[in-house]
Amino acid sequence: MKIAWSLRSFHAIFTPIRYAARAAQVKRMLYGPFGQESLLYFHQLYNDGGIMRSLIVYFLLFNIIILSSQEINDITLIKEKMVAPTIYEEARINYNNGNEYLQKDDLINAEKCFLKAIEIDPQFIDAFDHLGLVYRRQNRYLEAEAIYRKSIELNPKNSVPYINLSVLLKIQNRFEEARQTYLKVIEFEPDNPEPYYGIGWLYFHTRMYKESIAYLNTAIEKYISIESIYVYDAFHLLGYSYYYLNEWEQSLKCLTIAKEYYKDDKSIEKIIKELSSKIE
């Protein structure tokens, strides 16, 4: 059975059009119903990594929404404190240039910029994380791993490099190492849904469906608490976990929820029809 791409799959095929379509959602996160806590919430989403982090970087760098003067002031503050957290202006410029090259899939120039940013500021954690992504896309796994571990060394309580490292280990089928890395995130950041989803994914792909279900349900609770669109990924995988355990009703329920996001996915439509017939 073919399982549809997750939201995370789109991180590998970044295009301005796709991310511009999500810009309004990011703006709602900033200026929606979160009041004085909106910037802190935004910071949490940024630190989650993955597609939301890239979307936020793109949104901040290119200002693809028409902003009020107050919003511009807030965005400027966020740029200074989060998108390029370094006191060195030249490092910031190289980092931002590297992001632009990364969005264009110009990995050679992106690497040069991130390396220059790190040369100027050896403590520039975000530059390390983005350089690791460049190496990962180039299949330079040993170099990517070294970069992520260096980032962890610089800040052992930053979840981003741990999660990036876990993804890298999964790519290499180093599943137990990936699981242990996710568990470290849970130790110091227990409300972050990503490690629970990651472990759920690992158990699913090793056919340990009962274990997968436990972690995916926890991930769903935590995604819902921060209103993250990643919750659809978790429902998607959870639905297939129940499917392989022949728990048809639970599978149908989860995949029906996932279908709200994967509207054009024919494979989910097919399995939902199959499940509906089984239940009848």
pLDDT for 84: 53
Low-confidence ranges of the chain (pLDDT < 50): 1-7, 9-69, 71-72, 74-83
The pLDDT, as a whole number, for residue 190 is 93
Rounded to 5°, the CA angle 104-106-111 comes to 125
| Predicted local confidence at residue 200, as pLDDT | 97
Q: Exposed/middle/buried for 257, CB within 10 Å: 0-12, 13-18, 19+?
A: middle
Find the distance separating the first CA and the last CA of the chain, reported in whole Å: 22
| Helix (H), strand (E), coil (C) string for the chain | CCCCCCHHHHHHHCCHHHHHCCHHHHHHHHHCCCHHHHHHHHHHHHHCCHHHHHHHHHHHHHCCCCCCHHHHHHHHHHHHHHHCCCCCHHHHHHHHHHHHHHHCCCHHHHHHHHHHHHHHCCCCHHHHHHHHHHHHHCCCHHHHHHHHHHHHHHCCCCHHHHHHHHHHHHHCCCHHHHHHHHHHHHHHCCCCHHHHHHHHHHHHHCCCHHHHHHHHHHHHHHHHHCCCCCHHHHHHHHHHHHHHCCCHHHHHHHHHHHHCCCCCCHHHHHHHHHHHHHHC
Determine the Cα–Cα distance for residues 259 and 265; give it in Å rounded to an integer: 8
**221, 242 in Cβ contact below 8 A?**
no
Amino acid at 193: P
Q: What is the pLDDT of residue 62?
A: 42
